[in-house]
A = this chain, B = another copy of it.
Amino acid sequence: MKLNQTLPQLELPWDMIHLGLGQPSGQLLPSEEIGKAAAHSLSVEARSFLAYGDARGNPDFRHTLAQFLTGQYSGRVDPEQLLITNGNSQALDFICTLFTRPGDTVLVEEPSYFLALRIFADHKLNLVSIPVDDEGLRTDILKEKLETLTPAFLYTIPTYHNPASVTLSLKRRQDLVSICAQKNVLVIADEVYHFLNYSDDPPPPMGTWCDRCPLISLGSFSKILAPGLRLGWMHTSEKRVTKMAGSGLLVSGGGFNPFTSEIVNSIVRLGLLTPHIQHLKNIYTKRIETFSSQLKETLPDQAVFQIPKGGYFIWVRFPEGIDTNAFRKAAQKQKVDFYPGVLFSHKKGLKNFMRLSFAFYDEDVLTEGARRLGKVISEHLS
């Protein structure tokens, strides 16, 4: 059983099974494909991707990416609607710099991606949350809040939510667009899990509506190729792309990642991306089956969760009054870990939840992890 083979970001004991980790395992990182693509990119005479590039990203790559997205989505994506980024964390940071000032209000979901909350804190933003339910963001509550609030933007994770694993329904997407168009509220849609669907097709990505309301959709290669590439994109109106490309940072740096863009351009052009995504989906589908059936077996009945239809996460709910942090230390002693729900709340709520993920470990490790976790929780709750 191989455990923590690749984990530069965190320092974990070798025998710890950290079921909270939301990153792909080392074996799923396509180094062979990246090697082929790098050789392809660097074999050509043109070296423009080594120079200061177009502030919006390499034109050729934006063209390739637009074609790829058009093929994946139901609607057409235009290269002029794309701006290449260093991934969604950097894109969020950049958006905060351009569109907020300290003290501004930003709307987030409850729960939300915990590290996005940290980025907003670094920009000294004031967070107000809107709950999510099984259909995603509660757009009715959003509408109410916007009666009195004028936020700098709304941050939402519409598809295969991190951590709640829910997906915003088509009806709610349309509501969201119409509400935010009317109130002129900028929507930042983090769509990093959109391509990782296992048992259904998600509604169209929010980027589809980028000309219908103020909206920036964030996409990334972190989950469909490799996080270390630090490469992603914004999909928004051409006008907003032009505006952002005029920022000091982009004019000075000349595009966020021209070199890596060219390598990923080759990956897509060589036809290596689509099969890799399918490979990931096959692996994750099997992992979900194994992991969730093992969890059903080992977790006590008070622990409730939905089987994820996409993305990375299982969001486990315990009865009110139970604090998952209370048994985290005991879990760590038994060499299993998770992320407690409170991490995903900007107001220290959600204590009776935990986030689990099946992205980092093989099926046998997930099985063992579910056993360890079940044992600890059963002991704690009995």
- Do the beta carbons of B29 and A35 come within 8 Å of each other? no
Collect the chain B residues with CB atoms within 8 Å of residue A222's CB: 52
CB-CB < 8 A to A16: which residues of B? none
Verify A58–B8 contact, CB threshold 8 A. Answer: yes
Instruction: Give chain B nearest CB distance to A295 CB in angstroms.
Output: 25
Are B23 and A52 touching (Cβ within 8 A)? Answer: yes
- In the complex, the answer to whether A47 meets B31 with C-beta atoms within 8 Å is yes
What total of chain A residues lie within 8 Å of the partner, measured CB to CB?
Answer: 68
Flag whether A318 is at the interface (Cβ < 8 A): no
Residue A249, interface by CB 8 Å: yes
| B8, B87, B92, B249: the one within 8 Å of A59 (CB) | B8
A378 close to chain B: CB less than 8 A: no
Partner-contacting stretch, out of A64-72, A115-123, A281-289? A115-123
Q: Nearest Cβ in chain B — how far from A377, in angstroms?
A: 28
Smallest CB gap from A98: residue in B: B122
**Chain A, 13-51, CB within 8 A of any chain B CB:** 23-24, 26, 29-31, 34-35, 38-39, 42-43, 46-51
CB-defined contacts of A89 to chain B, threshold 8 Å = 248-249, 252-253
* Residue of chain B at shortest CB distance from A227: B52
- Please report the C-alpha to C-alpha distance between residue A23 and residue B254 in the assembled complex, in whole angstroms: 11
A25 to chain B minimum Cβ distance, whole angstroms, is 9
A254 CB contact (under 8 Å) in B9, B93, B256: B9
Q: Which residue of B lies closest to A119 (CB)?
A: B248
Contact yes or no, A54 B8, CB < 8 A: yes
A230→B55 CA distance, assembly (Å) = 13
Interface residue? A174 (CB, 8 A): no
Copies in the complex: 2
Are B39 and A51 in touch, CB under 8 angstroms? no
Q: In the complex the two chains form, is A50's CB within 8 Å of B118's CB?
A: no
Given contacts A115-B252, A249-B122, contact A47 B35 (CB under 8 A): no
Contact B54 A9 (CB under 8 A): yes
Contacts A118-B251, A248-B115, A252-B115 given; does A51 touch B9 at CB 8 Å? yes
Q: Give the complex CA separation of A115 and B254 in angstroms.
A: 11
Interface of A is mostly: helix
A342: shortest Cβ distance to chain B, in Å?
A: 17
Q: A7: which B residues are within 8 A, CB to CB?
A: 48, 51
Please pick, from B26, B46, B51, B249, the residue contacting A48 in the complex, using a CB distance under 8 A: B26
A257 contacts the other chain (Cβ, under 8 Å)?
yes
Q: Which residue of B lies closest to A29 (CB)?
A: B50
Q: Is the CB of B248 within 8 A of A52?
A: no
Q: Which of B51, B101, B249 touches A29 (beta carbons < 8 Å)?
A: B51
A6 within 8 A of B: yes
Complex alpha-carbon distance, A58 and B8, angstroms: 8
If A29-B50, A119-B248 are given as contacts, then 14 extra A-B residue pairs at C-beta distance below 8 Å, sorted by A number, are A6-B47, A6-B51, A9-B53, A9-B55, A26-B47, A29-B51, A34-B259, A48-B228, A93-B248, A101-B102, A116-B252, A120-B248, A228-B258, A230-B259
What would be 23 A-B contacts, judged by CB atoms less than 8 Å apart?
A8-B52, A8-B258, A9-B53, A29-B51, A35-B38, A38-B42, A49-B228, A50-B228, A86-B86, A86-B256, A86-B257, A87-B253, A90-B253, A93-B248, A93-B249, A102-B102, A119-B248, A120-B248, A122-B247, A228-B254, A229-B259, A230-B253, A230-B258
